[in-house]
A and B are shown apart, each in its own frame.
Chain A
Amino acid sequence: MQFLASLIDGLLLGFVYGLAAMGLTLIWGVMSVINLAHGAVMALGMFGTYLMFTYLGVNPYLALLGVAGLGLLLGFLMYTVAVHRIINAPHLSSLLATFAVNLIIVGVGTAVFTTSPHNVDFSMGSLSLGRIILPPTRLLAALAAVGFTAALYLFLCFTRPGKAIRAVANNRTAAELMGIPSAQVLALSFGLGTMLAMVAGGLIATFFPFTILSGGPYELKSFVICVLGGLGQPLGALVGGLILGGLEGLIPIFMPVSWVPVVEFGLFVLVLLIRPNGLLGAK
């Protein structure tokens, strides 16, 4: 009984983890930048949903569309200001540039929202499936995550800008030679990446309380997921998210819950060492 309940809880959350990680992995895949502002951007998504729900009375799931739009714009802005100039510099530069953006977001967020927790006060009661009891918000979040993933895939496979992104990810120089404006494509990819992070944050806000610092742990989880699924592979991120969610559900059955991060991060380092391209990645 506990087994099933735990596993379902973990997997549902895993979809949302996966969506967040997809944002990170997309940016990495296209331009080899690890976005250390990922967590802060997720927190902005949480606050976006919160503000629209609390002050404008928008349904949180409808608010996601607004959050997504803002995410895209924020991504363009971040790319143009902080990343474009150093896109060809060593890794340290982009790591620190995105970390600087992280500091700015967290700093302004702390000044505006303080660090006391906020809550999207949107409860849909409890859903009972036999003896398993779920808050419906988690189920809806998982469905929304799947929806966004599908939309991203359709976009990448069937639209011109989507194809351009794939071309640049594959080989930027070659893509440029073919006349693809790489700066615009990079900005678009960064926008999509932050959009996914903000949407994931918005979904999390519907069931967990949050502060401007809440993105941190999810950012770390996103790293683990990206490495499990293979850095740079969006679908791998979803699978990695499910693996991580499943583990978080299953590990507590066998040992104290506080051992979860030990196993998680231990596994993370191990996978990095043995298969740096991810469990699913090509050897």
Chain B
Amino acid sequence: MRPKSLVGLVVAVILVMAKIMWADADTSKTRTVVIGFTASQTGKLNVEGTRQINGLNLWIEQVNAAGGIKLPDGTVIKVAAKFYDDESSKSRVQELYTKLINQDRADFLISPYSSGLADAAAVIAQQYNRIMITAGAASDSTHKKGYTVVYQTYTPASRYLTGAVDLLAGLDPKAQKIAIVYEKDKFCTDVVNSLTSYAKQQGLQVVLFEGYDSGTTDFAPFINKIPAKVDAVMGGGHFADTSTLARQLYEKKVNTKMIALLVAPPEDQFAELGDAALGVIGPSQWEPLVAYTPEAANSLNIAWIGPKAGDFIARYRSKYKEEPTYHSAGGYVAGLLLEKAINQSGSTATAKVKEVLDHLDIMSFYGRLRFDQTPAGHGLQVGHDMVYIQWQQDAQGKLVKQLVWPEAVKTAAAQPIKAR
């Protein structure tokens, strides 16, 4: 071996050793946790899925820009994201989450968008004992299967439309009959089943209860079955079908006092329906109009975390050039929750973080968050409440979104639907 190459070798060895030692020194102070998730970048859920990921990415960017999560023992935790496209398909989700856990060594998981996909991912999370925060998944049933490490950020489906029944009573105390037309999938079925039992409890009569297949475009058979003089039409499903339902209800001149539909009404795009959107009410997990404040948290005697609503909206808007929706807020809050739990437990170990999450009771711009601790419904969201929006006309006759329920946050009084 020539001297020149010997020198080179020595230098290389020193460099490698230095790198190892430096890295060692580094890990004692700064560590990186990997957050794994799949995103529906293609397929039928891509719009909502992308917004959720935008929210989550905004949180990651902010947390790292602020220097990471600082633990009491001085360790700094940086956050790295690892994700794949799940094509909105269940069979891909399980394969990818297994990969995230085993190959990419994800420490924590965030669920994909939609109850169906989150449900498939939850099985894997539980099998490998990784904490998973579900975002964009409202189904109650995921939390009735004995999972212990899955936590929900959305108000569960069972409380999606029950507020609409109270709202109806406020609108017309004599209201009696409601018709329910809903998409036959897991989420909507959970919603309308609890809606029905709550409505009956309140002395209402469910005069029509019909489910339609996902992807339905012709609602005439359902609308023809709605008896005359119903006081409210409730139900719907996801964006596309619910918009179509709203439009066809208008074209068929269905006269009723209230129309409360799932998912679509809070979207700004819904206003494109014009007159068919006027008066339609919809539940939302969160709206930019909703103002939860640190003061509100104080009065409830619980901790406040994260930015104020105004900050979140401004940052989101400047990064993505669009208004945040509740999907975006859900993604962001999933990150916030992890940050809080890691910080408070001073650890990234599943058992310790889980211990904190189990007993967490906090408020952020998104509202209050608390989880069911009982084995029968572990991880179910019990702190957060829905808000209801209604499309109303302003003085110029333009369609505007108003918050109409609950009383504490409303920006306008609910109005009955005009005769069609």
Contact = CB atoms under 8 A, between A and B. Distances in A.
Direct contact of A and B (CB under 8 A): yes
B248 to A, nearest CB: 8
B184 A258 contact: yes
B221 A9 contact: yes
Contact of B221 (A116, A117, A135, A248): A248
Contact of B212 (A123, A125, A210, A257): A257
Nearest to A138: B220
15 contacts: A2-B224, A5-B224, A9-B221, A9-B224, A116-B46, A116-B240, A125-B251, A133-B253, A209-B240, A217-B215, A252-B221, A252-B225, A257-B212, A258-B184, A258-B210
B217 interface: yes
A256 B208 CA distance: 10
B306 interface: no
Interface of B: 43-44, 46-47, 184, 210-213, 215, 217-218, 220-222, 224-225, 240, 243-244, 251-253
B240 to A, nearest CB: 4
Interface of A: 2, 5-6, 9-10, 13, 114-117, 123, 125-126, 128, 133, 135, 208-210, 214, 217, 248-249, 252-253, 256-258, 260-261
Contacts of B218: 13, 208
A19 B225 CA distance: 27
Given A116-B47, A256-B211, A2 B225 contact: yes
B244 A209 contact: yes
A6 to B, nearest CB: 5
A117 B240 contact: yes
A160 B351 CA distance: 81
Contacts of A115: 43-44, 46
B368 to A, nearest CB: 33
A256 B210 contact: yes
Contacts of A257: 210-212, 221-222, 225
B47 A208 contact: no
B285 to A, nearest CB: 21
The interface centre, meaning the residue of B220, B222, B251 with most chain A CB atoms within 10 A of its CB, is B220
Contacts of A126: 251-253
A208 B210 contact: no
5 closest residue pairs by CB, A with B: A208-B217, A252-B221, A9-B220, A117-B240, A6-B224
A50 to B, nearest CB: 14
Nearest to A2: B224
Contact of A258 (B43, B212, B224): B212
A210 B244 CA distance: 10
Nearest to A261: B213
Contact of A210 (B46, B217, B220, B225): B217
A116 B215 CA distance: 11
A43 B63 CA distance: 46
Contacts of A5: 224
A75 B157 CA distance: 48
Given A5-B224, A133-B251, A252-B224, 11 more contacts: A2-B224, A9-B220, A13-B220, A115-B46, A116-B240, A135-B251, A208-B244, A209-B240, A209-B244, A252-B222, A257-B222
The interface centre, meaning the residue of B44, B211, B222, B243 with most chain A CB atoms within 10 A of its CB, is B44
B113 to A, nearest CB: 14
Contacts of A256: 210-211
A9 B248 CA distance: 13
A249 B221 contact: yes
B252 A133 contact: yes
Contacts of B252: 126, 133
B310 to A, nearest CB: 30
Contact of B217 (A123, A209, A249, A261): A209
A114 B43 CA distance: 8
A56 to B, nearest CB: 21
B324 to A, nearest CB: 19
Contacts of B46: 114-116
A260 B222 CA distance: 12
Contacts of A252: 221-222, 224-225
A263 B281 CA distance: 35
Contacts of A125: 251
A9 B219 CA distance: 10
Nearest to B47: A116
B322 to A, nearest CB: 15
Contacts of B211: 256-258
B215 A6 contact: no
B217 A214 contact: yes
A123 B210 CA distance: 27
A2 B225 CA distance: 7
A177 B213 CA distance: 52
B9 to A, nearest CB: 52
Contact of B213 (A123, A135, A258): A258
B230 to A, nearest CB: 13
A81 B210 CA distance: 46
Contacts of A135: 251
B221 A6 contact: yes
B79 to A, nearest CB: 30
A2 B254 CA distance: 13
Nearest to B250: A126
B325 to A, nearest CB: 15
A248 B225 CA distance: 13
A257 B220 CA distance: 10
Nearest to A251: B221
A249 B221 CA distance: 7
A126 B253 CA distance: 8
Given A115-B43, A115-B46, A116-B47, A260 B240 contact: no
Contacts of A248: 221
A9 B251 CA distance: 13
Nearest to B227: A2
A165 B22 CA distance: 82
Nearest to B275: A123
A114 B240 CA distance: 14
A236 B121 CA distance: 49
Contacts of A261: 213
A15 B218 CA distance: 15
Nearest to B181: A257
Contacts of A128: 253
